[in-house]
Structure 1
Amino acid sequence: MAIKIGDTAPDFNLPDQNGSKVSLQDFRSKKAVVLYFYPKDDTPGCTAESCAFRDQYEVFKSAGAEVIGVSGDSSDSHQKFATKHNLPFTLLSDQGDKVRKLYGATTAFGFIPGRVTYVIDQNGVVQYVFDSMLNFKGHVEETLKQLQQLAA
């Protein structure tokens, strides 16, 4: 069952690009989280999406949010991807897609991991979900609008 607006976001504990464990609980009561699931490191669409988040990262931080990317790639793959594209935010390795499945993040054509972004408030409640395989920049633009509305 897919997580939707108003649901409490499921907690997780995954390794980041440096091998450190990161939990959603780490951000509770501190800041909002923009959690974006993407198919694969260093593919054209995922690179466009991740670089769009990179280019707006300071704006997200100013809006009181942390950006976190999640895919099934290894921590080593994430490290190379983050270094190559100068990504300043956390990338989590969800090998086996357990967290993706926990959130109900869709698949495209039944086998390609989908592209879904969640805005999770400081209390751990999902405030917005953006699900689009092809609108890479929409993930950034729409979630940023939602964060700014929440802050207002």
Structure 2
Amino acid sequence: MSLQEGDKVDHFSCKDDNGATFESTSLLGKKVAVVYFYPKNFTPGCTKEACDFRDHYTEFKELGAEVIAVSSDSASSHQKFKTKYRLPFIFLADKDGQLRKLFGVKSSLLGLLPGRETFVIDKNGVLRYRFNSLNASKHMSKALSVVKQIADE
């Protein structure tokens, strides 16, 4: 089962980059959220994607949206990644793959790599957009475009 556009996103909790428990109720249903899943910290494509979101983070915030990055990396790996590249948004450590399962993010490259997928959730907690592509350079611009559309409603 995977989330489809128009579905309400179920509550979830996961360890954040500080090792604290992030509760989705702190955000979902209150503001627009961009949740992006990526394979691994410090790899070229994932670094480019994170830096794209960083470079446009102010735009997301001005539109009332929060960005959340999710991978199976540990909280300490997320901390190092955030520090090295000055990444200002939330990172979640999905060590057991429960968030990937909840969102329906499948592996890619014959199951060898965790999938790269971006979700835009409106302030009512409804999935408005889902984008799946190994091409890391397209995720931020697609997400920002949808967030702008939501802000104009």
Q: CA deviation at 1:30?
A: 2.5
Percent identical among aligned pairs is 47
TM-score, normalisation: structure 1: 0.96
| Counterpart contact for 1:38–1:69, Cα < 8 Å | yes
**What residue in structure 1 maps to residue 151 of structure 2?**
151
Look up the match of 1:40: 40
Q: Please state how far the C-alpha of 1:137 moved relative to its aligned partner.
A: 2.3
Q: Which moved more, 1:84-93 or 1:106-115?
A: 106-115
Residue deviations 1:103-147 (CA, integer Å, cap 9, x gap): 11121121310000000111110000111012x121100111111
Match of 1:92, SS? strand
In the other structure, the counterpart of 2:116 is 115
Change (3 A) 1:21 1:58: same
Structure 1 residue ranges, 4+ long, deviating more than 6 angstroms after superposition: none
Partner residue in 1 for 2:138: 138
Cα offsets for 1:49-74 (capped at 9, x unmatched)? 00000000000011110000000010
Amino acid in structure 2 at the alignment position of 1:56: H
Per the alignment, residue 82 of structure 1 pairs with 82
Deviation (angstroms), 1:150: 1.0
Question: After the TM superposition, which residues 10-25 of structure 1 pair with which residues of structure 2 at under 5 Å, given as runs?
Answer: 10-25=10-25
Match of 1:6 in 2: 6
Measured on the aligned residues, the alpha-carbon RMSD in Å equals 0.9
Instruction: Show structure 2 runs of 5+ residues with no match.
Output: none
Which residue is 1:28 aligned to? 28
2:55 corresponding residue in structure 1: 55
| Count of residues paired in the alignment | 151
Q: The residue matched to 2:129 in structure 1 has which SS?
A: strand
SS of the residue corresponding to residue 19 of structure 1 reads coil
